A and B are shown apart, each in its own frame.
Chain A
């Protein structure tokens, strides 16, 4: 039986994740995807549990780049939805991430 990988955004990455690209700042969505998400997904074919609670001010630009960016990197959306176990007390947060995976939204907003 494969051991489940657990990633806590707050503990393993940063308590204040924000921004989209690496150039945006130290705790961007791209940094989270490249440093933690992609290696975890490539390590095995099992589930990857993402703990969202504890991280503060999770904004759409971070979430879209971190999770929507996986699809742009070539991961299959359906497989991602099956493998990623998103944990949060806020169900809208989980739903928002799932939507970024199933249908990529355009970046930016100004």
Chain B
């Protein structure tokens, strides 16, 4: 044990006193700042918007909640940009890939719409997994929320987000190729081809008009991609926040609308998506080599337990192991969401895709 000299003891004492005084000063300043804010007639408290329990774009009920939540976010950025936005995730327990990508894309778009001038904060979910998801995909970062540390959960650490505005697969390839040993080579090629088509669609067609969200914001022509490894499956989701396939079809493919009318098919969003896909598939007539949206669906056509979904605005078209289904939701996505789900490992046994 070392004894300090009386001089050293005095020096340490003075140092400690200085620290105590500084701390007290800081506390007083902080309290005074808080009081000033409370009495400042120009200061507005943060506007709190609650995120739904589940961030899901495919379940009917949950999709409505997500759509309402996203509409509230848009409204805040449009009408009250001078107020701090507090996104309250405290009730959120589940993040489903497609809805999560949509939330991330919408949030980044809104932040850039107001040139980063809107203060966005968030409260963390009580659920640990949900909190790790927000950390992993960068939502905490977008909301200037303190880091909760590097995610550790095995069902979260494989979530990846990518974003771009060009048709450039060098951005997406590392994400897909990371699963090379667990996916058949043609399937890796197919997913990359599908992503290239999705990017081309986003860049060439999705932003041909103003999105019907009241923001009149046309500067951004981005796409977002998200991948997730879960329960032995790889899910890849791609989205754009454009005007949607049902809105572009009458402009780009008016004959398809006439064809639907001729055969008495209702011109709704789901039927528009189906027509666009079927046209792409019939253009090449080759198995697994569709054109455009047809190519996107063909990726999983022969994959056992493989699924592809093209959702745009209110409609969706799903292909599961070659069987197609389609329907319309009540709420619009206000954009296009493409989803592939393929099994890992088992897929490597599939020789032909």
Contact = CB atoms under 8 A, between A and B. Distances in A.
Interface residues of A, number: 30
A72 interface: no
Contacts of A19: 166-168, 196, 199-200, 203
Residue among A19, A28, A57, A95 with the highest chain B CB neighbour number at 10 A: A57
Nearest to A55: B189
Contact of B189 (A56, A99, A105): A56
B191 A57 contact: yes
Interface in B198-224: 199-201, 203-206
Contact of B295 (A25, A27, A28, A60): A60
B308 to A, nearest CB: 15
Interface string B235-253: 0000000000100110010
Interface string B146-185: 0000000000000000000011111001000100000000
Given A57-B195, A60-B295, A95-B286, A110 B189 contact: no
B284 A96 contact: yes
Nearest to B280: A109
A56 B286 contact: no
A96 B190 CA distance: 15
B52 interface: no
B284 A110 contact: no
A28 B206 CA distance: 19
Given A57-B195, A110-B201, A92 B167 contact: no
Nearest to A62: B196
A95 B289 CA distance: 10
B188 A61 contact: no
A108 B249 CA distance: 11
Contacts of B138: none
A7 interface: no
A21 B115 CA distance: 29
Interface string A41-56: 0000000000000001
Q: State the majority secondary structure of interface residues on A.
A: loop
Contacts of A93: 289
Contacts of B203: 19, 24
B292 interface: yes
A58 interface: yes
A60 B279 CA distance: 13
A18 B204 contact: no
Contacts of B200: 18-20, 24, 59, 61, 108-109
B287 interface: yes
A15 to B, nearest CB: 8
Contact of A57 (B189, B249, B293, B294): B189
Nearest to B186: A90
B197 to A, nearest CB: 5
A16 interface: yes
B291 interface: yes
B289 A96 contact: yes
B294 A18 contact: no
A57 B192 contact: yes
B197 A59 contact: yes
A96 B203 CA distance: 23
A61 B292 contact: yes
Interface string B277-321: 001100110111111111100000000000000000000000000
Interface of B: 166-170, 173, 177, 186, 188-197, 199-201, 203-206, 245, 248-249, 252, 276, 279-280, 283-284, 286-295
Interface of A: 14-20, 24-28, 56-62, 64, 90, 92-93, 95-96, 99, 105, 108-110
Given A15-B173, A56-B169, A61-B197, 13 more contacts: A14-B170, A16-B173, A18-B196, A20-B200, A57-B195, A59-B196, A59-B200, A92-B286, A99-B284, A108-B205, A108-B292, A109-B201, A110-B249
